[in-house]
Structure 1
Amino acid sequence: MAYVENDAITVLSDEESWELLAQQPIGRLATTIGDDIEMFPVNYVLDGQTVVFRTAQGSKLFELTVNSRVAFEVDSYEDEGGWSIVVHGDAEVLQDVNEIAAVEQLPLRPWVATIKTTYVRIRPHYVSGRRFRFGEEPESWHL
Structure 2
Amino acid sequence: METSNIQTVVTNAQQLKQTQGGYNFTSGTTMTGTLIQQGGAPKAGWTIQGTASSGTGTMWNSYGGQVVMAPVASNGFNNGFSVTTQKVPQADCISIATQLGSGGAFSAISINSTDYSDGLVSAEDAGKACTADTGMTGNNTLVFTHNG
| Structure number with higher relative contact order (C-alpha < 8 Å, ≥ 6 residues apart) | 1
TM-score (norm 2): 0.33
Give 1 or 2: higher helix fraction: 2
Give 1 or 2: higher strand fraction: 1
TM-score (norm 1): 0.34
